[in-house]
Structure 1
Amino acid sequence: MAESEVARHGRIDLASHGFAVKTEGPQMAEIQEVWIFHGANAKFASGVFRDKAEAVRWIEEGGLTGVLTKYPVGISVYEWAVERGHHKPQSVKDVTPEFVARFSSAAQEHMHFENGSSH
């Protein structure tokens, strides 16, 4: 990838370099939720999907172990849970940056997988 391409256009045309670029489907502004797969013992998520069925198929085909969770787009899970009454801060600790950064909610739709099978 030529540096001049970045300098000229401020971006790289990935399709011209052989990368598959998906042009159909909803634009990010239209996406209200995504499904994120977090593998067992992984520090970071390994898959993000617009469609639950697409995510499940990928997990099953790969024989993966972990959790598939639906996340809202454009809002933190903490704010989402508070707005919907799934979480009520009980102490000052419950609003600290550390707490908010680690927050997850059992109210989020999710599925557990072991070796590609949900349970």
Structure 2
Amino acid sequence: MSDNAKLMPGEERQPTLSQRSPERTTMWVFHGNHARYASGLFETLDAGLTWAAEHKLTGTMTEYRVGGTYDVAVEEGRFRPSRAHHGSPDHVAGFSPGLRHIHLADGHPDD
């Protein structure tokens, strides 16, 4: 899929090989299903999954590149502003497309 292709509902753009480069700094963030704020930040997916399993958590573990998610997504071509409100303070503050993500139920990946 080219960077300019539109995604269908439910589809997500996967990171390119350069976006998965070891030089690219990413972190894993855990956000509980009913939580207002994220409750965990991890350098590796394994560390995050271990922590979530210990606490039997339900939510989402999402990989983010370090930086503002809106700016990073625009820079990498994963999002193209196309509406008047794109880039507004409210839009940027609520923008959250991470990279890979895993849904967890009671601390285990929810397949």
TM-score (norm 1): 0.68
Structure having the higher Rg: 1
Structure 1 portions without partners, runs of 5+: 1-29
Partner of 1:64: 57
1:31–1:50 Cα contact (<8 Å) kept: no
Name the CA distance, whole Å, in 2 between partners of 1:36 and 1:64. 13
Structure showing greater relative contact order (alpha-carbon pairs closer than 8 Å, 6 or more residues apart): 2
Which structure: greater helix fraction?
A: 1
How do residues 1-119 of structure 1 correspond to structure 2 at under 5 angstroms? 32-73=25-66, 75-105=67-97, 108-119=99-110
Deviations for 1:25-57, whole angstroms, at most 9, x for unmatched residues? Answer: xxxxx9822111011110111111111101101
CA gap 1:31/1:88 in 2 versus in 1, 3 angstroms: closer
Provide runs of 4+ in structure 1 moved above 4 Å: none
Name the CA distance, whole Å, in 2 between partners of 1:78 and 1:95. 8
Name the CA distance, whole Å, in 2 between partners of 1:55 and 1:31. 19
User: For this pair of structures, how many residues does the alignment match?
Assistant: 88
RMSD over equivalenced CA pairs, Å: 1.7
